[in-house]
Amino acid sequence: MSIFHLPDLGEGLNEAEIVAWHVTAGDHVIADQPLVSVETDKAVVEVPSPFSGTISRLMAKPGEIVPVGGALVVFDSERATDKGSVVGEINVAAPNPKDALAAPPAETVTRVKASPAVRKLAAERGVDLAIVAGTGPDGTIQSADVLTAAVGLGEALHGPRRVMARTMERSGTSVVPATVMDHADISAWATDENTTLHLVCAIAAACVAEPALNAWFDGERRQLHAHVDLAIAMDTPDGLFAPVLRGVETPRDLASELAALKASVRNRTITPEVMRDATITLSNFGMIGGEHAVLVVVPPQVAILGAGRIGTRITLKDGRPQEQRVLPLSLSFDHRAVTGGEAARFLATVRARLETPSEKG
């Protein structure tokens, strides 16, 4: 037998979450045939078979986290020599005795006694029937046994939500946050203006005027960037995604690129490369609700601009009241690397650009 281990997918990651298997024990596969889909840093990647052979055992279940180098599949009999292409190095070796202890052959596993309805209930509640003591005849597991086992069980985070939790934890232990807020008068905008596009262009202009916020900081060294790679926070049922719009300081048709990014997130076709190495972030949370916010800076970035819900306010002009449409702005920054003056100048430039709609794009 041969064991196929999770390869290095070339993304600088140490682990991946099993999303779905495309094969089962007993299947004969050929080289490069998809074995399993895994989720790495919010993107789903297919892992192909490194060679042809018959599958003896799958070493992980959907939802489980497998480290790079961890066992994925046990192949039966001698493998063919037709190695297929796979990203990273393939580690094929004889079975490790520890692996055998951790995952015994199917024949040695005691079969769980439970009806289809009870199995369905267990799946819905996230209960592993193998660890449930049955109180029915001959140890048969009843619905009440599943419900008892489910008490106190929480919902484990998976995929994008797990990545988000780890990212926010890292930010909370390193960033010294501060926030400045303002409003931009957008009364001159047409009613059908693309708010996100305006914000992208305003951020690009502000990064030129005050480069300190378009930077990375590792706690000791600060790296300023000549290019503006803007992460755009997008809310989805699966969690938060932040694809990166590259080089927004270069004038071009950004609207079509924005639409393409949104479609790739919605369809879950976005690749890990598209969500890496942003130099600053935009969160247009006002599309959902809220006026101002204290946002989370994701290191090594040092700043994130938030836009709240567009509203109206009454101001005086020449002693007479007038109504304005206003866009609330919140700029959160890492005060270790950015001064209050730098943040205020950045926000002032964003506001001025938003209030000059003819300069969009």
* Same-domain check for residues 203 and 336: yes
Is the pLDDT reported for residue 244 higher than 50?
Answer: yes
Would residue 217 count as lying in a domain? yes
Question: 212 and 322 share a domain?
Answer: yes
Rounded CA separation 339/105 (Å): 61
Q: At 6, list the tokens.
A: 């999770």
Mean pLDDT, residues 192-217 taken together: 96
The answer as to whether 176 is a domain residue is yes
* Residue 279 and residue 200 share a domain: yes
Amino acid letter at 168? M
Give the range among 85-89, 93-97, 142-146, 318-322 with minimum mean pLDDT.
Answer: 85-89
Last residue of a domain, one of 47, 77, 108: 108
Q: CA 147, CA 126: separation in Å to the nearest integer?
A: 10
Asked if residue 79 is part of any domain, the answer here is yes
Same domain, 76 and 145: no
Question: In which band, very low, low, confident or very high, does the pLDDT at 154 lie, cut at 50, 70 and 90?
Answer: low
**354 has pLDDT over 70:** yes
The answer to whether residue 77 sits within a structural domain is yes
Tell me, yes or no, whether 339 lies in a domain. yes
Looking at the domain assignment, is residue 155 inside a domain? no
CA 275 and chain centroid, separation: 8
Residues 231 and 322 in one domain: yes
Q: pTM for the whole thing?
A: 0.67
C-alpha span between 39 and 156 (Å, rounded): 15
Query: What CATH number does residue 125 fall under?
Result: 4.10.320.10
Is residue 172 located within the same domain as residue 283?
yes
Q: Where are the alpha helices (DSSP H) in the chain?
A: 97-102, 116-125, 143-150, 159-174, 195-209, 254-266, 340-354
Measured CA to CA, the distance from residue 209 to residue 212 in angstroms comes to: 9
Cα 319 to the center of its chain, rounded Å: 51
More confident residue, 333 or 154: 333
Same domain, yes or no, for 128 and 33?
no
Is the same domain home to 136 and 247? no
Q: Report the b/e string of 255-290 with b at 16+ CB within 10 A.
A: eeebeebbebbeebebebebbeebbbbbbbbbeeee
What percent of the chain is modeled with pLDDT above 70? 86
**pLDDT over 60 (residue 18):** yes
Query: What is the rounded average pLDDT of the residues 54-81?
Result: 83
pLDDT of residue 63: 83
**Angstrom distance (rounded) from CA 253 to CA 249:** 12
What rounded mean pLDDT belongs to the chain?
85
| Same-domain status, 92 and 126 | no
> Domain holding 177: CATH number?
3.30.559.10
Q: 273 with 134, same domain?
A: no
Concatenate the DSSP letters of all residues of 46-85 into one string. Answer: EEE-SS-EEEEEE---TT-EEETT-EEEEEESPPPS----
* 298 and 268 share one domain: yes
Task: Compute the distance between CA of residue 10 and CA of residue 142 in angstroms, rounded to an integer.
Answer: 46
- Statement to judge: residues 228 and 274 lie in one domain: yes
Q: Which pLDDT tens digit goes with each residue over 287-343?
A: 999 999 999 999 999 999 999 999 999 988 888 999 999 999 999 999 999 999 999
Q: Which of 144-148, 263-267, 351-355 has the lowest mean pLDDT?
A: 144-148
Domain containing 134 equals: 116-150
Calculate the alpha carbon distances from 49 to 53, 72, 193 in Å.
Answer: 9, 11, 49
Q: Tell me what pLDDT residue 47 has.
A: 92
In-domain check, residue 290: yes
Q: How confident is the model at residue 142 (pLDDT cuts 50, 70, 90)?
A: confident
Is it the case that residue 209 has pLDDT exceeding 60?
Answer: yes
- CB distance 228 to 249 below 8 Å: yes
Q: What is the mean pLDDT of residues 60-71?
A: 88
Report the pLDDT value the prediction gives residue 317, as an integer from 0 to 100.
83
pLDDT, tens digit, 9 for 90 and up, residues 212-237: 999 999 999 999 999 999 999 999 88
> b/e map of 301-326 (b: 16 or more CB within 10 Å)?
bbbbbbbbebeeeeeeeeeeeeeebb
List of residues 6+ apart from 134 with CB closer than 8 A? 113, 114, 140, 141, 142, 145
**Cα angle, residue 156 at apex, residues 152 and 159 outer, rounded to 5°:** 170
Asked, for residue 180, whether it belongs to a domain, the answer is yes
Phi, psi of 303 (to 5 degrees): -155, 150
Number of folded domains that form the chain: 3
Q: Looking at residues 180-194, what average pLDDT do you find?
A: 94
Helix, strand or coil for residue 233?
coil
Per-residue DSSP letter, 29: E
What mean pLDDT is predicted for residues 137-153? 78
Beta bridge partners of 28: 54
Could you tell me the CA-to-CA distances from 224 to 6, 124, 174, 175, 300 in Å, in that order?
Answer: 36, 49, 19, 17, 11
> Where residue 65 sits, what CATH number does that domain have?
2.40.50.100
